[in-house]
Amino acid sequence: MSRTTLHTNRSSLSHKVGYAVRNPAKIAPYVRRTARDTWLRLRHPGHVAYYRAVMASDAGRNPEAAVGSQTHERWLALGQMQFDYLVEHGLTPKQRMLDIGCGNLRAGWRFIAHLDAGHYYGIDISPDILISAKKTLTTYGLQDKLPHLTITQDLKLDFLPSGHFDVVHAHSVFSHSPLPVIDECLAHVGRVLAPGGFFDFTFDRTEGTEHQVLREDFYYRTETLIRLAEKHGLRARFMDDWETRKHGQSKIRVTNPE
């Protein structure tokens, strides 16, 4: 990411005006999305309920676009990118994986195919996107792998066993989450990690002012999230090797102390 991008405040009026001037065709879609999101926030107080409604609206039009992929080719490429990264970092078929915000299995179907039967557990706040996930599972003929696909209301993870998952993964989840939601996850994820396990999450990084856009996209400084993890007794480090991938988000890895 360029230094200019990392210091951009997308919520500022000057940025919005400049972006509109450079991209006039995007003005009408932005106005429509702003009106829709304002209406959904009024109807659904609380971030989880609001974002569940956003996902229902987006998934109703295009499930792949709802998880951030405007074309099927990009959907495949982003899933491959996530899969390749974790395999390069040692993901083996015998390990157990928790995929937070599994969506419609953009990367999940590859993880399911790679892991032993029953070793993939995907959770999401959106019932609509989980219906699409089941269709993806069927499309790739992975029924015999018996993956768990479960809806969740929060990220307390209290329905999951302690010390069970070797890898916990949250791609493009914290980029759509206010700080209290991230804090809740970090407060509880250490309990479900197996000894030696790790939790990888991506986030929209800024080196300027932390900000949000439409309560859908949240931008954080790296040190903010590392301090938050440390507050809960976890170790966290910025993953430099992820930065070489063609993806707009950054990645942090969290582990329990030895």
pLDDT band at 4 (very low <50, low <70, confident <90, very high): low
Please give the Cα distance from 82 to 108 (Å, whole number).
9
Please give the Cα distance from 216 to 34 (Å, whole number).
10
Q: For residues 18-29, give the mean pLDDT.
A: 77
At 217, give phi and psi (nearest 5°): -120, 125
Q: Are strands 97-100 and 193-205 parallel, antiparallel or unpaired?
A: unpaired
Could you list the residue range(s) of the whole structural domain that residue 70 is in?
3-255
pLDDT band at 3 (very low <50, low <70, confident <90, very high): low
Q: For residues 38-58, give the mean pLDDT.
A: 87
114 residue type, one letter: H
Residue identified by tokens 């990392």 is: 6
Does 194 score more than 70 pLDDT?
Answer: yes
The domain that holds 226 is classified in CATH as 3.40.50.150
Does 166 score more than 90 pLDDT?
Answer: yes
> What pLDDT score was predicted for residue 48?
87
Element containing residue 122 per DSSP (H, E): strand 120-124
> What pLDDT score was predicted for residue 138?
97
Tell me: the pLDDT tens digits for 107-132? 999 999 999 999 999 999 999 999 99
Q: For residues 199-218, give the mean pLDDT.
A: 93
Average pLDDT, the chain: 92
Q: In the chain, what is the greatest distance between 2 CA atoms, to the nearest angstrom?
A: 53
Residue identified by tokens 């988000």 is: 249
> What pLDDT score was predicted for residue 156?
97
Task: Count the domains in the chain.
Answer: 1
> What pLDDT score was predicted for residue 1?
59
pLDDT band at 55 (very low <50, low <70, confident <90, very high): confident
Does 2 score more than 60 pLDDT?
Answer: no
> What pLDDT score was predicted for residue 114?
98
Does 240 score more than 80 pLDDT?
Answer: yes
> What pLDDT score was predicted for residue 186?
98
For residue 207, with 0-12 CB atoms within 10 Å meaning exposed, 13-18 middle and 19 or more buried, which class applies? middle
pLDDT band at 19 (very low <50, low <70, confident <90, very high): low
Q: Find all residues with CB under 8 Å of 251, minimum gap 6, and list them.
A: 200, 201, 202, 203, 238, 239, 242
179 residue type, one letter: L
Does 175 score more than 70 pLDDT?
Answer: yes
- Predicted TM-score (pTM) of the model is 0.91
